[in-house]
Amino acid sequence: MTANLIGMARFSGKAALVSGGASGIGRATAQRLAAEGAHVFIADLNADLADQTVTQIHRSGGSAVFVYVDLADDSSVQSCAREVAETVPALHILVNNAALLRQGRIEDGGWIENWEIETRVGLRGWVMMTQHLLPLLKAEGGAIVNLSSEGGYLGRPGMWVYDAIKAGVVSTTKTMAQEFTQYGIRVNAVAPGWIVTEMHFASDPDPAARKKVLEETPIDSCLLQRRAGPEEVAGAIAFLLSDDASYITGTTLHVDGGRVGMNLGHLGILE
């Protein structure tokens, strides 16, 4: 992901924190921000994966460190923010990306056991993270991107908790944009569609084979008729974080190959 970025250093001298930066969209975003000059904190609970991401970034000539956080644990969130504050005087970029996907239909109650952990991470943890990092973000101003989903707009069978959380991310993004504008902080969300990440293939018995199938099989649920790679979302996140988006705040950018709000009738039944 460092190719074709020669001359682009939109984040030179900036400090960035990406939650869930060890995997998938978070990792691609951390790599992109580092490739464009940022010093990146990879905030994650998976230390092994996070260390791999840090190593990849260092090998590409970028700057990154791992900082442990469990977004489901208030005290962990607070100590993560403290650790960052001990290292840098200001944070310019925050990407609230970490989340969990669990399934369960309303009728059979299968969602109940996942409610607590999904909402703690997806609706509470990242807001608390933002709260505790706010003094650092206020120091010099900056930009925040929160990860929503097409699910927050569609509502899908078996996904009500996840999709309600992602709708909540959209409204909380608007709240944050209004509360933080006085500090020179822009806040936006990205709502990805079907992205090929560990979220969808890591638990398969053969993750590499499953990843290849997902990458190569056409879909009929969006205009572009394919799933995307995480770096395609990272590019949109980087745009919103950059000065190229200096007049954009409180909005949600759909990175879904043309799905939400589209008439897809000619493509047949949605997935």
Ligand X SMILES: NC(=O)c1ccc[n+]([C@@H]2O[C@H](COP(=O)([O-])OP(=O)(O)OC[C@H]3O[C@@H](n4cnc5c(N)ncnc54)[C@H](O)[C@@H]3O)[C@@H](O)[C@H]2O)c1
| φ and ψ at residue 61, rounded to 5 degrees | 90, 10
Q: Please pick, among 153, 162, 183, 247, the residue that the annotation labels catalytic.
A: 162
Report in angstroms how near the CB of residue 247 gets to ligand X at its nearest.
Answer: 25
Handedness of CA 113, 202, 231, 64 (dihedral sign): positive
Residue, CB closest to ligand X: 24
Output the smallest distance, CB 23 to ligand X, in A: 3
Q: How far is the CB of 11 from ligand X (least distance, A)?
A: 20
In Å, how far are 25, 193, 223 from 216, measured between CA atoms?
Answer: 19, 16, 16
Binding residues vs ligand X (CB under 6 A): 19-20, 22-26, 44-46, 49, 69-72, 97-100, 121, 147, 149, 192, 194-195, 197-200, 230
Query: What residue type is 258 in one-letter code?
Result: G
Whose Cβ is closer to ligand X: residue 19's or residue 173's?
A: 19
Report CA-CA distances (Å) from 46 to 53, 85, 153: 11, 21, 29
Between 147 and 241, CB nearer to ligand X: 147
The CA distance from 178 to 201, in Å, is: 37
Closer residue to ligand X, CB minimum distance, 36 or 150: 150
Least gap, CB of 6 to ligand X (angstroms): 27
Q: Which residue has the tokens 């230390």?
A: 47
∠ CA(176), CA(164), CA(45), 5° rounding? 70
Does 162 participate in catalysis according to the annotation? yes
Burial of 69 (C-beta count, 10 Å sphere; 0-12/13-18/19+): buried
Q: Which of 199, 264 has the CB closer to ligand X?
A: 199
Just list the catalytic residues: 162
